Amino acid sequence: MPLHVIDEAKRCLQCKKPLCVEGCPVNTPIPEMISLLLDRKINESGEMLFKNNPMSLVCSLICDHERQCEGHCILNKKGTPIHVSSIENFISENYFDKVKLNPGERLGKKVAIIGSGPAGLTISIILAQKGYDVTVFEAREKIGGVLRYGIPEFRLSKKILDQLYEKMQDMGIKIRPNTSIGEGMSVDNLFRDGYSSVFIGTGVWKPNTLNIKGETLGHVHYAIDYLTNPDVYNLGDKVLVIGAGNAAMDVARTALRKGAREVTVFARRDVASASKKEMDYASIEGVEFIYNRTPREITDEGVWFMDTNTEEKIFHPCDSIIIAVSQGPRSRIVSSTSGLDVDKKGLVVVNENGETTRKGVYASGDVVLGAKTVVEAVYYSKKVATAMDQYMKGI
Domain shared by 334 and 201, yes or no? yes
Please tell me what DSSP assigns to residue 319: S
Are 221 and 174 in the same domain?
no
What is the Cα–Cα distance from 122 to 56, expressed in whole angstroms? 10
- Where is the domain boundary, 293, 325, 357? 325
Question: Which residues does 246 contact at the CB level (< 8 Å), separation at least 6?
Answer: 64, 273, 274, 275, 278
Which residue range is the domain that position 134 belongs to? 110-205+328-393
Q: 18 and 49: one domain?
A: yes
With respect to residue 105, please indicate whether it lies within any of the assigned structural domains: no
Residues 45-56: b if buried by 16+ CB within 10 A, e if exposed: bbebbbebbbbb
Same domain, 221 and 321: yes
* Residue 201 and residue 333 in one domain: yes
CATH code: domain of residue 247: 3.50.50.60
pLDDT tens digit string along 115-146? Answer: 999 999 999 999 999 999 999 999 999 999 99
Does residue 242 sit in the same domain as residue 214? yes
Same domain (yes/no): 64, 83: yes
* Residues 201, 332 within the same domain: yes
Query: What's the structural domain count of the chain?
Result: 3
Mean pLDDT, range 209-228, rounded to an integer:
97
361 DSSP 8-state letter: E
Distance (Å, whole) CA 249 – CA 257 = 12
80 and 29 part of one domain: yes
pLDDT of 314 reads 97
Question: Amino acid letter at 182?
Answer: G
Instruction: Say if residue 287 is in the same domain as residue 360.
Output: no
Q: Higher-confidence residue: 232 or 336?
A: 232
287 lies in some domain? yes
d(CA 276, CA 278): 6
Distance CA 246, CA 50 (A): 26
Is 239 a member of any domain? yes
Q: How far, rounded to the nearest angstrom, does the alpha carbon of residue 242 sit from its chain's CA centroid?
A: 21
pLDDT at position 331 is 56
Q: Per the domain annotation, does 103 fall within a domain?
A: no
pLDDT tens, residue by residue, 103-121:
999 999 999 999 999 999 9
Residues 163 and 23 in one domain: no
**Confidence (pTM):** 0.92
Q: How far is CA 44 from CA 16, 100, 163, in A?
A: 21, 14, 20
Share of the chain above pLDDT 90, in %: 85
The confidence band for 162, taking pLDDT boundaries of 50, 70 and 90, is very high
Residue that is last in its domain, among 302, 325, 348 = 325
Distance in angstroms (rounded) separating the CA atoms of residues 305 and 329: 28
* pLDDT, tens digit (0-9, with 9 covering 90-100), for 30-47: 999 999 999 999 999 999
Residue 233, domain member (yes or no): yes
